Chain A
């Protein structure tokens, strides 16, 4: 080391600030718009915003820690083969306090922001039978029934119509009621930013406002047995005229069996199952 010790702290702070000034705008402006799950619905778009905020908050922290360790690994390395002893610093009350205060502030901000974002409309997540963040305005209820190994969909406002494909009208607030007939599944409409577990005997509500007409992927996100890997289909968001036509067509097609369908209910308990018979 040179006779006048370099000011390591200032250098690390400088490098951290430079790195943060470069990477944080990149994270916000370049990476942010590409963060999942896209803009397929109001909830999905809100999640993209949320993910962008988290990324932007964490980028400078990542810069600090990575710059620090890279600097330390290079500058504080031992050059010779002799064992040399380092400094005897054992702690620093000011640094520790500053660290605790700043990390606490960041955590409280993140928790507060996440809660605020969640309370808007529930962020497309499964909210249980009585949603804390409820829909604002009129909704189209759609029931999602998971069973091994497919999803079926019921439209209670259209006579309990049950279909094997999910079609939703554009620019409509949809209230999914997710339930299961057997194992636990998870209804994941990726592009809509919706995920809600399907539990037997439970009604799990998720709210989403659809955007423009598009298709979206539906997958099961909770392992549910043999063909879990194939429990996927594609849904459609269509304009309201097409939706009305589609519903009418489905009702006509299923008219012969409509009478023998079980009435619409929030949950459907299968016959008591016992393993050992």
Chain B
């Protein structure tokens, strides 16, 4: 939609700027920040020697962040609806329909398609920030002695990179793609709770800014895990981490509830559980983890904040608390968290393989039980992160078994992928390449995980670069590869324009090769004894580290190729996309492009299962839709 097509407004400029929009939100956020900062100094400056000694006023910073977020959300208009309902006024649906054109994308909008694109751009931006941090880390590790960053800044970079990726990318698939396509896939006109849907996005954006602001408060030394009691010693940058992750946890919880409510209650007639697209199943499994695990994180970080402000000692052993308590609570969240990152990737791969192999999904029930099984088991494995900690050491055989058992349901996903390509007609479009990249990367990640799950082997690999290589294979090789598969697959529907396929293939091959060239040597570096998060390392590991750094820079260049393609295709070339370029039978491809505001004129009735590929099947999946091409 162009600006010329927008209806003319007669109100003066000031009237247009003052209203519930992003400008107001930023202004109110800044006012809230300074108000909180001022309040914090009023309540705590005289009372604490600590503040006088160190100039570290955590109370002020927590209040500043808290009020900034409240101001930001108020400015966007999140209070309008509840306040007008409380005052007995009629509820407005203006948030969805009033704004038009590009303005919908920079304001509170409750259209799930707008939120999906907002998520894509917002998360993409913070993914870029996290990626630049990774580049800076690898510059440092070009030499075995400090190179460009002092030790403290290096640790902050590591923490910023890890937290940004682990925090933001929890919604990397669910945010952009599930929000956009799940209502379409299940034949719904919207999400169950559209305002909450918008809230999850704006909370995440506030969180990202807050984490980045840690650099103004001295950074934080703990990495993404925030272990106590180091976190209690750390200066005010730690508070940025705490507020960031608490907001992320809140956003994840709300997102999970919203997805579950949508899938449970808003499926079109005929869309039984046995016909649910496999991607939607992965969203259900992930959302259940979001709902059950993320609140633990929020609670834990609240306790950390209390330790740092109100002088509680939950995690300080010298005063009767326990750092083990923090480790337990963190990983009760933290292990489901890594499957929150992984399972959507399973869903995307199994959703896309049938389209590009022209076959029904092989072993649908097995695939579903694999995802649900992984989700369930992920709550029973967390102490494998504490194999060396001395905590509950006698339970380690149990955690070794439960951890290795998770490879069974994960193996189901692989078997279903293998069955689906069997005697298919595989087309190597860009999304398919990324799916096959996932197969390779996640397989290596899974195999290396076996060493970490085995206590004798873990004695060496625990906390080393081996571990780091393992979870980059599963998360970057898993999640990020499927993230790109999803972009190349769904963007023609979401943005209505084609991405350049040739540049996409260049992006894939550059990324796939440089990814493996970056992370495979890290297994060796870790096995040779380099611990994680070190700014200096033995000199004989320099060659391998340099190899990794150079590969990482090429990996960074592959992202530039993608960005160039993205900007070129969306802003300059703008070649309209076919309504169904991949000849998919799934519902989201049967609606016109661009997708109408209310998705379906009539709610479709699902009459057949949704993977009707294969030689003998031609029946359409739904009435009264017409197949797009």
Contact = CB atoms under 8 A, between A and B. Distances in A.
Contact of B459 (A103, A125, A201, A203): A125
Contact of B404 (A110, A223, A228, A274): A110
Nearest to B360: A90
A69 B390 contact: no
Given A91-B363, A195-B459, A223 B221 contact: yes
A226 B317 contact: no
A72 B493 CA distance: 29
A62 B427 CA distance: 24
A92 B455 CA distance: 36
Interface stretch (A47-55, A236-244, A257-265): A47-55
Interface stretch (A150-158, A160-168, A185-193, A248-256): A185-193
Contact of B58 (A114, A125, A197, A276): A276
B414 A65 contact: yes
Chain B interface, >50% SS class: helix
B407 interface: yes
A103 B406 CA distance: 11
Contacts of A62: 443, 447
Contacts of B221: 223, 225-226, 228
Contact of A87 (B324, B363, B407, B423): B423
Contact of B366 (A96, A128, A205): A96
Contact of A223 (B49, B155, B233): B155
B563 interface: no
Contact of B436 (A73, A86, A90, A224): A73
B531 interface: yes
Interface string B422-457: 111111100000001001100100010011011111
A211 interface: no
Contact of A86 (B307, B439, B614): B614
Given A73-B426, A199-B324, A229-B536, A117 B529 contact: no
A107 B49 contact: no
A58 B463 contact: no
A85 B355 CA distance: 10
A223 B222 contact: yes
A36 B528 contact: yes
Contacts of B393: 125-128, 131-132
Nearest to B529: A190
A136 interface: no
Contact of A277 (B49, B307, B322, B427): B49
Contacts of A271: 318
Contacts of A142: none
Contact of A68 (B324, B397, B418): B418
Contacts, number: 340
Interface string B348-392: 000000000111111111100000000000000000001111111
A125 B455 contact: yes
A128 B531 contact: no
Interface residues of B, number: 112
B532 A223 contact: yes
A175 to B, nearest CB: 14
Nearest to A62: B447
A78 B230 contact: no
B588 interface: no
B616 interface: yes
Interface in B252-292: none
A140 B268 CA distance: 71
A75 to B, nearest CB: 9
Contacts of B405: 107, 111
Interface string B202-227: 00000000000000000001110001
A107 B8 CA distance: 67
B599 interface: no
Interface string A112-139: 0011011100011111111110000000
B458 A275 contact: no
Contacts of A246: none
B415 interface: yes
5 closest residue pairs by CB, A with B: A277-B50, A204-B390, A88-B614, A201-B317, A86-B424
Interface of A: 8, 35-37, 43, 46-47, 50-51, 54, 58, 61-62, 65-66, 68-69, 72-73, 76-78, 83-92, 95-96, 99-100, 103-104, 107, 110-111, 114-115, 117-119, 123-132, 178, 182-184, 186, 188, 190, 193-197, 199-205, 217, 219-230, 269-277
Interface of B: 44, 48-51, 53, 58-59, 151-152, 154-155, 221-223, 227-230, 232-234, 307-311, 313, 316-319, 322-324, 357-366, 386-394, 396-397, 400-401, 404-405, 407-408, 411-412, 414-415, 418-419, 421-428, 436, 439-440, 443, 447, 450-451, 453-464, 527-529, 531-538, 583, 613-617
13 contacts: A47-B456, A61-B447, A69-B436, A85-B615, A88-B360, A88-B613, A88-B614, A96-B363, A114-B454, A115-B401, A195-B460, A199-B389, A273-B319
Given A273-B229, A276-B59, 16 more contacts: A36-B527, A69-B418, A85-B425, A88-B616, A89-B359, A90-B360, A111-B405, A114-B454, A118-B456, A125-B459, A126-B390, A186-B388, A225-B221, A229-B537, A272-B319, A274-B319
